[in-house]
Chain A
Amino acid sequence: MNLAPTYKYLFRISIRSLMLVYLWLIGITLILPALFSLISGTIGDFSLANQLSSQQFSIVAGFFLFFYFSLNDNHFNFLIQNGIGRKTYWLGKLLVAGVTILIIEAINLVYLYAIYLPIAGTGNSSDTLQISYEGNPVASSMLSLLYGHYTGNELLDYVLTTIVVLFGLASITALGMAVGSIMSLFSRRMKLIIIIGTPIFLIVLAIYISNLNIHLFSTTWIYDFAKVIVGAGAHPVEEHFNPFAPMVSGTIFIAIMLFVSRYFNLKLKVRTD
């Protein structure tokens, strides 16, 4: 198995793509508004603190992980051209995904502690982090609210919440890998139909769900199952969530997604359509 060069190649491309995404993010959220302010003559009102958000890096990272690791064709084509089989490709991709997740979470934490909190955390930012920031800030303020007080031990809660975040990112990545491997089986035309059709289907589904009576929904097994998955107790609004539950459900979900991803990955073929 020629794993080392495969890993190096995939890692290099992954990190380059991630940096490009971050550059775009900085350009859109900081440089562009600053430029507009400069052009419109309102640069005096421009506040760096107001432009920063505690969650923007996490959200973009989530999208990046899903979409980047769903891509297959170019990488597979290059690797099979260079005598690298599907098993090595899949394993290399999995390792790169794991390392990329850790890098992303490290960037999230560095951003939070080194940039966001010193600039906006004590300022007049309207960010939701202000609401959730109670001495236990993690990359995702929502998760901090839900899981950040389970044991009552500040350090332990912090570590557990960070692990939940990592499981969340890993689940998104594994889902992307599974979806991408299935999509690789289709022709370019079919992929286009699926890419256009899926959002339409999801919008219709969202409208349907929003029309459901929420109280009626809360009596179904789906609601109870969802509570088990996320670690919510009998009274989810009043109680803190159990961080070990999403770790268990995340492990099962990731294992299933990776199985699907590997199964279809081994069926990859060079497409000329």
Chain B
Amino acid sequence: MSSIEIKNVTKQFGKKEVLAGLNFKLEPNKIYGLLGRNGAGKSTLLSIMTNRIPLTSGTVTVDGESIQNNDKILQKMYLMSEVSLYNSRLRVFQVFNETDKMYGKFDFDLANRLAGEFGLDLNARIGKLSTGYRTIFKVLVAMGVSAEYIFLDEPTLGLDANHRDLFYKELMESYANRPRTFVISTHLIEEVANLVEHVLIIKNGKILIDSGVDETLAKAHTVTGPEADVDSYTAGLNVIGHDSLGKIKANYVFGDMDDKILPDTVSIESMDLQKLFINLTNEGEN
């Protein structure tokens, strides 16, 4: 297995710069969370990494080889995108067959079993599926395909809570049985927080965070107490946001805490990934 290296990748649509010099690496057999607000450039980045659209500058390489029209490398990747690129007249089972012909070693057992569990009709035409079932169809192809890197762009779009739960469970099981890299781009951060090992947060076309989830959360703290005490304690720290309730205030700190003595009135708690994301990506702050 090889890693994907993204170097100085920029993308402009007309005069608008959507990606502004991204640098990061995707390692084999890891589950990544690609997080960002609407329009942050997540889908554009995934499309560039799978050679669907050209980049403006920079490189995407695997083992030093460019992905540009490189079948050998492109066959290691599969992007489940929000927009379906399949002919809407095709039936679900036909797409399974075609995917097998292109990638080889499609996991029909898994895809057929999951179709039963999700209640997806294998004979249904893709164009006739509801939003939720279209997502399920795409998820099933992504789970069955033999690629080493699976990019899932909003994999739970339109799914009800039961189906989302089933998806997460099956994803973990599939990952345990056949380790490969998953990159999950989603807005439902709370739901994937326990799944992802590594987090990539994009803001305004730039990578804000690129580190392990545990490592990231270890630096995320909520400092709560009387407003004056909290402000005094967090002075000089990287405060990324705050909440107030009456005279009680919570300051959200991202980064190392200093060695100041903690006042009795102030408490420090850890922050969850969603809270960290919201505070990091809020406009006008930070």
Q: How far is the CA of A79 from the CA of B68 in the complex (A)?
A: 14
List 9 extra interface pairs beyond A2-B71, A5-B101, A86-B69, CB under 8 A: A5-B102, A9-B101, A78-B85, A82-B99, A83-B76, A83-B102, A84-B74, A85-B68, A85-B69
Cross-chain contact A81 with B85 (CB below 8 angstroms): yes
In angstroms, Cα B47 to Cα A5, docked, is 23
The A-B contact count (CB < 8 A) is: 63
B38 within 8 A of A: no
Q: Across the interface, do A2 and B52 meet the contact criterion of CB distance under 8 Å?
A: no
Within 8 A of B (CB), among A40-87: 74, 77-87
Number of chain B interface residues as a range: 20 to 34
How far, in whole Å, are A74 and B68 apart by their CA atoms in the complex?
20
- Which 3 residue pairs spanning A and B have beta carbons closest together? A85-B69, A82-B102, A77-B85
Main secondary structure on B side of the interface with A: loop
The residue on B at minimum CB distance from A75 is B87
Partner of A1, one of B53, B71, B98: B71
| A85 x B98 contact (CB < 8 A) | no
Residue of A9, A83, A87, A88 with most partner-chain B CB within 10 A: A83
Question: Which residue of the partner chain, among A8, A9, A85, A270, contacts B85 with CB atoms under 8 Å?
Answer: A270
- On chain A, the number of residues with a Cβ less than 8 Å from chain B's Cβ atoms is 23
Kindly state whether residue A267 has any CB partner on chain B within 8 Å. Answer: yes
Chain B residue contacts of A9, Cβ below 8 A:
98, 101-102
Contacts of A83 in B (CB 8 A): 71, 74-78, 102-103, 147
A269:B53 contact, CB within 8 angstroms: yes
- Report the bound CA distance from A85 to B99 in whole Å: 15
Q: Which residues of A contact B79 (CB under 8 A)?
A: 81
The reply on A272 being an interface residue by CB < 8 A is yes
Please list the residues of chain B having a beta carbon within 8 angstroms of any beta carbon in chain A: 47, 50-54, 68-71, 74-79, 83, 85-87, 98-99, 101-103, 147
Question: A105 CA to B87 CA in the complex, in Å?
Answer: 29
Q: Give the Cβ gap from A242 to chain B, nearest Cβ, in Å.
A: 41
A85-B69, A85-B70 in contact; A80/B85 too (CB < 8 A)?
yes
Contact of B87 among A74, A267, A269 (CB under 8 A): A74
Q: Are B53's CB and A270's CB within 8 A? A: yes
| CA of A89 to CA of B76, assembled, Å | 17
Ordered by A's residue number, 15 sampled pairs between the chains whose C-beta atoms are within 8 Å are: A2-B71, A2-B75, A2-B102, A5-B101, A8-B101, A80-B50, A80-B74, A81-B79, A82-B98, A82-B103, A83-B77, A83-B147, A87-B69, A88-B71, A266-B69
In the complex, A272→B53 CA distance in Å? Answer: 11
A164 to B224, CA, bound (A): 86
Q: Inside 8 A of A86's CB, which chain B residues have their CB?
A: 69
Chain B residue nearest to A80 in the complex (CB) = B52
Q: Write the chain A residue with the least CB distance to B102.
A: A82
